[in-house]
Homo-oligomer: A and B are copies of this chain.
Amino acid sequence: MRKIGIPEIEDIALGAALLGAGGGGDPYIGKLVAVGAVQEHGPVTLIEPEEVPDDALVVPIAMMGAPTVLAEKAVGRDEYQTLYDTVSTFYGKPIYAFMPIEAGGVNSMLPIAAAAKLGLPLVDCDGMGRAFPELQMVTFTIGGGSATPMALVDEKGNSAIFRTITNKWTEDLARAVTMACGGSVSVSLFAMDGAFMKKYGVHGIVTRSERLGSAIRRVKESADVTPEEKFLEITEGFKLFKGKIGDVLREVRGGFNFGKVVLEGIGEYKGKTAYVEFQNENLTAAVEGEILATTPDLICLVDTETFIPIPTDALKYGKRAMVVGLKCFPLWRTEAGLELVGPRYFGVDTDYIPLEERSKGGQR
């Protein structure tokens, strides 16, 4: 148990933006909301999963929708209270703690804001260890957990509660309402007891984000190695490519940001071309036609000078980026994990091969 204040939020936002793998939203927006809540209500208590009683009610809080839309909309004042009341009434008991559902610039931050506003602790655990575009894509689905009853509220005061026969149906119905509400909403889903959270959750994700963020901030302080080497060391990342962004193709469809970024090699990659395809998050990275990494491993673009992660919605012509691969949470590499979030689910016609095998040619 420890306190999360504004300095911690800065680092968590930075580290989670990396783990967002291109998605998870703009960390600037997320940070604004979290910092504002902590300024008003004081620091948030972060608790370890083991500190949660087995029968206590734990509820993930997130925003749903296209990250590009969120930037244009505010998060309303009473949304988290409405979510709390809805879930708590349904289960007939108080919520013990909130938690994030995914790592990312926005969805690592909103649960902090919610916890601050309602005076609840935040559990150091999520359901992805990264960001994914659809709500059923969590370790809790693998564990047989239900996304419903899911509560959804928009900033205007509209709300819905869903109960569905599968978590994919939750995604479909909630996505439809999200679109009808203008493209982004606040949600609580996969309400669970402490025992289930401990068994299937990705433990320590907030702390991991914070350490990553802190290390990225200080990457240039290293004396013995180059900043790039230091960055790869602290992130345990595989360097896949370095290049200048030559083109970005985008399409908003069905509430998702689809697209592809083209990179023209620089440095040791001069003369080579890389493509990174995304659906909110980066899905595949290919260099000279050879796929070097796919979902569910994390494909992250970072600025070659500052090592600040570049979300897909901030990709711009001319920007210099390093493409880095990070190994995903082990449960994603199981058969059940790959069925949910493997390349074929996203329409990429290739088998999943772990990053460390695919990128043999890449540097570490």
Contacts and interface: CB of A to CB of B under 8 A. Distances in A.
Interface of A: 156-165, 169, 172-173, 175-177, 179-181
A160 B159 contact: no
A177 B181 contact: no
B176 A169 contact: no
Contact of A177 (B157, B165, B177): B177
A163 B159 contact: yes
B169 A165 contact: no
A184 to B, nearest CB: 14
**Interface-centre pick from A165, A173, A179 (highest chain B CB count, 10 A):** A173
A162 B160 contact: yes
A255 to B, nearest CB: 11
Contacts of A162: 158-160
A173 B165 contact: no
What are the 10 A-B residue pairs with the smallest beta carbon separation, nearest first? A176-B180, A176-B176, A158-B164, A161-B161, A157-B165, A159-B163, A172-B180, A160-B162, A158-B169, A173-B180
Copies per assembly: 2
A156 to B, nearest CB: 6
Contacts of A181: 173
Contacts of A179: 176
27 contacts: A156-B165, A156-B169, A157-B164, A157-B165, A158-B162, A158-B163, A158-B164, A158-B165, A158-B169, A159-B162, A159-B164, A160-B160, A160-B161, A160-B162, A160-B163, A160-B173, A160-B177, A161-B161, A172-B180, A173-B177, A173-B180, A173-B181, A175-B180, A176-B176, A176-B179, A176-B180, A177-B177
Instruction: Say whether chain A's binding surface is mostly helix, strand, loop, or mixed.
Output: mixed
Nearest to A149: B161
B173 A158 contact: yes
A160 to B, nearest CB: 5
Contacts of A157: 164-165
A280 to B, nearest CB: 19
A176 B157 CA distance: 17
A357 B200 CA distance: 70
Nearest to A164: B158
A308 to B, nearest CB: 37
A172 B154 CA distance: 13
A200 to B, nearest CB: 24
Nearest to A166: B158
A63 to B, nearest CB: 17
Nearest to A169: B158
A91 to B, nearest CB: 13
Nearest to A170: B158
Given A157-B164, A158-B173, A173-B180, 15 more contacts: A156-B165, A156-B169, A157-B165, A158-B164, A159-B162, A159-B164, A160-B160, A160-B161, A160-B162, A160-B163, A161-B161, A173-B177, A176-B177, A176-B180, A177-B177
Contacts of A173: 158, 160, 177, 180-181
A90 B177 CA distance: 21
A151 to B, nearest CB: 10
Contacts of A158: 162-165, 169, 173
Contacts of A163: 158-160
